[in-house]
Amino acid sequence: MNQEVRTRFAPSPTGGLHLGGVRTALFSYLFAKKHKGSFVLRVEDTDQNRYVEGAEQYIIDCLAWCGISPDEGPHKPGEYAPYRQSERKLMYKQYALQLVESGHAYYAFDTSEELEKMREELKSEKNPSPQYDASHRMHMKNSLSLLKEETDKLLQENTPYVIRIKMPQNEIISFNDMIRGEIKNEADLVDDKVLLKADGMPTYHLAVVVDDYLMKITHAFRGEEWLPSAPVHIKLWEYLGWKESMPQWAHLPLILKPDGNGKLSKRDGDRLGFPVFAMDWHDPKTGDTTKGFKELGFLPEAFINLLALLGWHSGEEKELFTKEELIAAFSMERVHKGGAKFDFDKAKWFNHEWIKKLSDEDCAALVKPILTTKGLKIEDDSFLIKAVHLVKERCVLLNDFYEQSIYLFESPFTFDLEAIQAKWTDEKKLFFIDWINILESLSVWQFSDIETSFKNLATEKNIKPGELQLPFRIMLVGAKHGIGVFHIADMIGKEDTVNRMKKVLGML
Ligand code: GLU
């Protein structure tokens, strides 16, 4: 490619960032970086009715967490600033007027009542949602159906108007999609979309084309749900005289529900018990919080890795990729056309693998705030690093570290005595009493010495060590799970080990 590659992610700040949105951003980013180009964040906030306070910062935070850093954006203005469409609103009207001038768009003065009336009149079984299009535009109140003087008068009187694109008739609009190849649409099926609203704000259709042009975007990635809008955009590029500069399109496949067909929605996540947003989203209107992957304990490395493989295949067996490896391996030829089913178990598998890859030190740094928020007191970082080392293998999510390591930091409050009562004997009780004496006299406290003294005493008393391990575990952990018991004793120290044992022996 001779030209500098410039891609963009163009979300509307309307709420939480769905994983499909993050995947669009990711592919756009990977493609740009692969070709040593720039990745732009453009905030499409022209629809004031859908605007949600805080959503833009939330999107920026989600991208930052994922390590998908825009080269240009509202928070990092570059040559093509501003990057927020609401701050560019004065730029768009001239292009709408240019289109009216060249005969490719027109003023429409219809009131909402008139539009409603048209829809009601034309509605039939065959045509349940009639459109404002070539078949009917001449019956409506617009600069095509009215005389020039009538239009001028209405404009002079400041009659509210919108500007609509005049879609061609009997034309096949085709374009080449990087994933889907040639796509053809019948122009007759597409309505005359509004380009400029009565309040002077552009609609998405006008703004996306103008901005992609002015920001010199070379490749536009977006979700498959935007395919029906593509013919309008193609015509706008042509009518504005910019066809030569039109970006290459890539309409990404949908992320599908795990069970059944259709796009994975927030409701599916709620129903099946997993998040669909990248990070926790606090809705300022309802006050509700929707869970995100980050807060559930996903690592960003795992999150982007699993997203990359939803719709793209590397062509090799390998599944674990760092961001740099993804950039090197990414190619549009291996992006699938078909939707990709989301599998939460597989997502957790990725996270487990990435947790195992983390160094103990890095993992401890991530886990520390989680444990302290839950009330654990961590005074010694080197102790935490050792604990992380011992339990890492058992943790699928970062939040699992709490449950998997709490007994290394605190004595249990409850003990599952039922698990041992059935096989409990006086001999076993004596064993533990005698062993406490031995443990108290140990001068070096380390797991191999603890284990040896345990085994020696069991042999001496002719009790199978296996029968004593569960009671010992219940004494230290309170429950049947956890890492090797001698490692636990080693970690918590002599005093704590002996105290926990005495406490349970007093109960049995
Ligand atoms: N603003 C659109 C959205 O919210 C962007 C579509 C596009 O990338 O063209 O998804």
CATH number at residue 344: 1.10.1160.10
Which atom of ligand 1 is the closest one to the Cα of 208? 9
Q: Rg for the chain (alpha carbons), in Å?
A: 32
Q: Which two tokens mark 416? A: 């599952």
Partners of 184 in the beta sheet?
A: 174
Q: Nearest residue CA, atom 10 of ligand 1?
A: 11
Q: Is the CB of 13 under 6 A from ligand 1?
A: no
The pTM (predicted TM-score) of the whole model is 0.93
pLDDT of residue 90 exceeding 80: yes
pLDDT, mean over the chain: 96
Question: Is the Cβ–Cβ distance between 225 and 254 less than 8 Å?
Answer: yes
**Are residue 508 and residue 424 in the same domain, yes or no?**
yes
Q: How confident is the model at residue 49 (pLDDT cuts 50, 70, 90)?
A: confident
pLDDT of residue 383 exceeding 90: yes
pLDDT above 90 coverage of the chain, percent: 94
Is 297 inside a domain boundary? yes
**Are residue 417 and residue 501 in the same domain, yes or no?**
yes
Is 202 inside a domain boundary? no
Q: Nearest residue CA, atom 7 of ligand 1?
A: 222
The domain boundary residue, chosen from 379, 404, 429: 404
**Are residue 162 and residue 235 in the same domain, yes or no?**
no
The domain boundary residue, chosen from 320, 341, 357: 357
Is 83 inside a domain boundary? no
* H/E run at residue 100: helix 89-101
Q: How confident is the model at residue 327 (pLDDT cuts 50, 70, 90)?
A: very high
Work out how many domains the chain is built from and give that number: 5
**Are residue 52 and residue 14 in the same domain, yes or no?**
yes
**Are residue 42 and residue 62 in the same domain, yes or no?**
yes
| Residue to probe by mutation, ligand 1, list 17, 201, 208, most atoms within 8 Å of CB | 208
Is 396 inside a domain boundary? yes
Is 35 inside a domain boundary? yes
Q: How confident is the model at residue 58 (pLDDT cuts 50, 70, 90)?
A: very high
**Are residue 351 and residue 366 in the same domain, yes or no?**
no
The string of pLDDT tens digits covering residues 172-218 is 999 999 999 999 999 999 999 999 999 999 999 999 999 999 999 99
Q: Is the CB of 203 under 6 A from ligand 1?
A: no
CATH number at residue 397: 1.10.8.70
pLDDT of residue 3 exceeding 90: no
Peptide bond just before 82 cis, omega within 30 deg = yes
Q: Nearest residue CA, atom 2 of ligand 1?
A: 11
Comparing 124-133, 284-293, 408-417, the range with the smallest average pLDDT is 124-133
Domain of residue 388: give its range: 358-404
* H/E run at residue 340: strand 340-341
The pLDDT of 449-475, averaged and rounded, is: 97
**Are residue 153 and residue 124 in the same domain, yes or no?**
yes
The domain boundary residue, chosen from 322, 357, 392: 357
CATH number at residue 480: 1.10.10.350
β-pair type (340-341, 255-256): parallel
**Are residue 352 and residue 377 in the same domain, yes or no?**
no
Which atom of ligand 1 is the closest one to the Cα of 14? 4
Q: Is the CB of 11 under 6 A from ligand 1?
A: yes
Q: Nearest residue CA, atom 3 of ligand 1?
A: 11
CATH number at residue 230: 3.40.50.620
Active-site residues, by number, are: 266
Main-chain phi, psi angles of 429, to 5 degrees: -60, -45
Which CB contacts under 8 angstroms, 24+ apart, belong to 84-87? Answer: 84/42, 84/43, 84/45, 84/56, 85/42, 85/43, 85/44, 85/45, 85/46, 85/202, 85/207, 85/211, 86/43, 86/45, 86/46, 86/48
Q: Is the CB of 473 under 6 A from ligand 1?
A: no
**Are residue 129 and residue 115 in the same domain, yes or no?**
yes
Is 325 inside a domain boundary? yes
Q: Is the CB of 231 under 6 A from ligand 1?
A: no
CATH number at residue 147: 3.90.800.10
Q: How confident is the model at residue 1 (pLDDT cuts 50, 70, 90)?
A: low
The secondary structure of 163-191 as a DSSP string is EEE---SS-EEEEEETTTEEEEEEGGGS-
Partners of 73 in the beta sheet?
A: 76
The string of pLDDT tens digits covering residues 103-140 is 999 999 999 999 999 999 988 888 888 899 999 999 99
**Are residue 376 and residue 278 in the same domain, yes or no?**
no
Is 364 inside a domain boundary? yes
Is 449 inside a domain boundary? yes
**Are residue 93 and residue 192 in the same domain, yes or no?**
yes
**Are residue 64 and residue 212 in the same domain, yes or no?**
yes
